[in-house]
Structure 1
Amino acid sequence: MKEIKAIIKAYNTIPSGTHAALATVVRVEGSSYRRTGARMLVFDDGTWIGGISGGCLEGDALKRARLAINNSRATLITYDTTEDDPHQIGVGLGCNGVIDVLFTPLDLNDKNNPVEILKSCLEASRDTHVLLTITALEGNWDKVATGDVIRYKGRDSLSTLKNPRIETAIFDNVLQQIAENKSAPAQFSADRSSIEIFIEILPPEISVVLMGHQYDVYPMSRLLKELDWRVSVCGDVLKINPQIRNYANTIIPASEFSSLTIDEHTAIVLMSHDYKTDKKNLLRALQTRASFIGMLGPRVRSERIWKELAEEGNPVTKAEMDRIHAPVGLDIGAVTPEEIALSLAAGIKAAFANRNGNFLKFRETPIHPRT
């Protein structure tokens, strides 16, 4: 999401007379530094924002983007780093993957160009958005072209294709990708026509609510800001470090906790360092849709809170316990507030990615799913 925001910011300030193209990774086979959905905004003066690789493909991407601008036509380019061919861009990098990149020239007057659609997603509510990018077409397609992006909002969003059989097939596939919460390329054929699309599942940014006002809220807010996650601090406003205002999106007193927008993409971290306050805040957190609830302190402290809540008639259920991470964070030997912030942020990311946070050298399968 941080990359998309940077691209939109640069797009919004494009000088008059400047032309631009958007490069998007739409398919990855094998290993690659960047995954599908990685983007790079390229200007005709050679500057760019974002990236489609670790820096090895960007030079050629500049040339491809300029060609797309000059030809006023979207182009799909395949970079193959698996072949031992000295003429192949990327050979010798050791990535051992195949990457499809779509280069789309941007019509700045078109409110449906790819960047404008990304803007509309970010300006909308905290929903998970689904974007369908057309990467290749064969046959009779009068209403759509390669490079077009359809913002999917249901079956009716596909009516512009004017091909009922393909629309049905895409609809079924999109439902599957939504259920799996996974972006993927797909190809469909019917009635002597075929279409290739990149189905992108675009969730909102991770939101983190820090419930506390002690000094360790400051390094945590600063790190989360660097990750471009949404940060809300809920505590005694008069005691909160004033510098936190440079990093937090929202700072409110504990009495206004219910005013926060908390959804399944939200993590709540209880860090007041006060036993009674954390106990009260745990009950508040459990009443929300937050999928991650972290509690600072040793396990025995958390177990004592759960025991007391049960004795008071508010037992923590099995389903609720699955949302609670106590002690919160990954075991990295953190000691200082900054190290603890790193441990907490890494733990939140691992939980949202359904990973265990272990060393990658112990992982027996590829880091990313492969096609």
Structure 2
Amino acid sequence: MREVMEALNEAFSDGRRVAMATVVRTQGSAPRAVGTSMLVTGEGSPIGSVSGGCIEASVIEQAATVLATGVPELLHFGISDDDGFSIGLTCGGSVDIFVQAFERATCPGFASLQKALVENLPCAMVTIFEVAPELLGRSGLVHQGSAITPLFAGAGFAWDVVQAADSAVQEAIASGRSTSVTLPAVTGSDERLSLLIDVFRPARRLVIFGAVDFSASLARLGAFLGFHVTVCDARAVFATPERLPSAHDVVVDQPARYLQKEIALGRLGPDAAICVLTHDAKFDVPVLDVALREGFAYIGAMGSRRTASDRRGRLLALGHTERSLARLRSPIGLDLSASTPEETAISIMAEVIAARHQASALPLAFTSDPIHKGLGERAALAPHPGGQPSSSPTCGVGQELQLPPLRNNQNENILT
């Protein structure tokens, strides 16, 4: 829902009814993730997308029916049975789309969701999309640590079903990933209760240490990708909002001290991305020491291979081990032969994204697995600590591709 929040709020403010189509279940190579939404106005105009374009026309048609009747619909799309290019997915996967009419009076949780987003509170909008007809489309906001019970008021579900649903919602909020879950509506029965758990969490933090030329481009790309971007540098002459207009926060402080304070205040979660661009031992070694001991999801440091080797020796002298240093991505970024600040930013953020999803970062043409995979499926593709893939990729005819050896962080940064 996040991608259509602004349009949904405008429709509510104008008193317009819209239909919202949301991806609630996927299998195989589905083009969009669970929780992705598209709005359809009464005039049939779409806002957003639920696929790569192959099923939108059918969804818009069904949305018009839902707006006319007020009855929600659960739509299923797989690869079409005839030629693969009629109404259906052409990518080989399948997707379920839940379409419901939306207006402020029938969505009491929307105002609470807006308030939670302003306050940066982790929560989930939970919607029933498969169960008895009278409960279809019922939704409510559930905060982290609060109970789902109000959503099921008067529904007559057994306590064990409510508990299972509550656990699923809290697990989804903790993971930060929207998902769906299907439970027996009544213990031992075939009737199913399916819930969309659309998770909203504070923006992931991207903390850039070093207000160098590359930082402005990295901040701009990070903000574009939805990160909350902070740039920190001890040198006030460089750390200015004018030089870093895309950063949400520009901080003048010693990098290691600032990072320690943010950790102590609980403002940096384990999913934070730490990028050290100072390539100066007196700044980057202390801050990397702190970051590595905390164990963030991504820790990268700019510099040539010579700089990276020297930095590695200094960190070993501080008590780090080869195992702990395996988390450090240095030289930072993927091997794109990047040279400009903009290209380097893409190289770094591509590696941040790959690390988050445990992806191989290989060209898709050199892989044969589904393009759109869940986290569990991606884990098998994650590079080994030594940098070698688990198996050699093969092309479609079974001939082994001759690729250059895969190494983590191949690129040579131009700064020393």
Cα displacement (A) at 1:358? 1.2
Q: d(CA) in 2 for partners of 1:186 and 1:81?
A: 23
Q: Which letter does structure 2 place at the counterpart of 1:132? A: V
Q: d(CA) in 1 for partners of 2:231 and 2:146?
A: 39
For each residue in 1:231-286, what CA deviation from the matched residue of structure 2 results, as whole angstroms up to 9, or x when unmatched? 11111342246555431111111247245422112111110132322123223434
**1:151 equivalent among 135, 142, 145:** 142
**1:263 equivalent among 254, 264, 269:** 269
Q: Equivalent residues in 2 for 1:60-209 (5 A)? A: 60-84=58-82, 89-90=87-88, 94-110=90-106, 112-113=108-109, 115-116=110-111, 118-125=113-120, 127=122, 129-138=123-132, 144-149=135-140, 151=142, 153=144, 156-158=147-149, 160-161=151-152, 162-163=156-157, 164-171=159-166, 183-190=179-186, 193-200=191-198, 202=200, 204-209=202-207
Q: d(CA) in 1 for partners of 2:316 and 2:15?
A: 67
Distance 1:13 1:177, change over 3 A: closer
For each residue in 1:72-115, what CA deviation from the matched residue of structure 2 results, as whole angstroms up to 9, or x when unmatched? 2322122233321799623xx622232211112222135634x5
For each residue in 1:53-82, what CA deviation from the matched residue of structure 2 results, as whole angstroms up to 9, or x when unmatched? 112322332332233223223221222333
Equivalent residue number for residue 16 of structure 1: 14
Name the TM-score, length of structure 2 as normaliser: 0.75
Asked if the contact 2:21/2:38 (under 8 Å) is kept, the reply is: yes
Equivalent residue number for residue 31 of structure 2: 33
Asked if the contact 2:127/2:196 (under 8 Å) is kept, the reply is: yes
Q: d(CA) in 1 for partners of 2:14 and 2:176?
A: 39
Distance 1:94 1:301, change over 3 A: same
* Structure 2 residues not aligned, in runs of 5+: 378-416
Q: 1:335 aligns to what SS in structure 2?
A: coil
The aligned length equals 359
Q: Equivalent residues in 2 for 1:244-255 (5 A)? A: 244-255=243-254
1:304 and 2:302 are equivalent in the alignment: no
Q: Which letter does structure 2 place at the counterpart of 1:285? A: A
Q: d(CA) in 1 for partners of 2:84 and 2:322?
A: 58
Identity %: 25
Asked if the contact 1:39/1:52 (under 8 Å) is kept, the reply is: yes
Q: Which letter does structure 2 place at the counterpart of 1:134? A: I
For each residue in 1:143-187, what CA deviation from the matched residue of structure 2 results, as whole angstroms up to 9, or x when unmatched? x44342452645831464342232244356557767887624424
1:233 and 2:231 are equivalent in the alignment: yes
Distance 1:86 1:320, change over 3 A: closer
For each residue in 1:109-148, what CA deviation from the matched residue of structure 2 results, as whole angstroms up to 9, or x when unmatched? 35634x5465355334464x44532111138x7xx44342
Q: d(CA) in 2 for partners of 1:67 and 1:246?
A: 46
Cα displacement (A) at 1:19? 1.6
Q: 2:237 aligns to what SS in structure 1?
A: helix
Q: d(CA) in 2 for partners of 1:180 and 1:252?
A: 29
Q: 2:368 aligns to what SS in structure 1?
A: coil
Q: Which shifted more, 169-178 or 242-251?
A: 169-178
Q: d(CA) in 1 for partners of 2:143 and 2:359?
A: 29
Equivalent residue number for residue 340 of structure 2: 336
**1:43 equivalent among 28, 41, 44:** 41
Q: d(CA) in 1 for partners of 2:344 and 2:84?
A: 47
1:321 and 2:309 are equivalent in the alignment: no
Cα displacement (A) at 1:342? 0.8
Q: What do you get for the CA RMSD once the two structures are aligned?
A: 3.2
For each residue in 1:170-225, what CA deviation from the matched residue of structure 2 results, as whole angstroms up to 9, or x when unmatched? 35655776788762442424266531223455554332111111111111112222
Q: d(CA) in 1 for partners of 2:307 and 2:143?
A: 47
Cα displacement (A) at 1:326? 1.2
Asked if the contact 2:107/2:139 (under 8 Å) is kept, the reply is: no
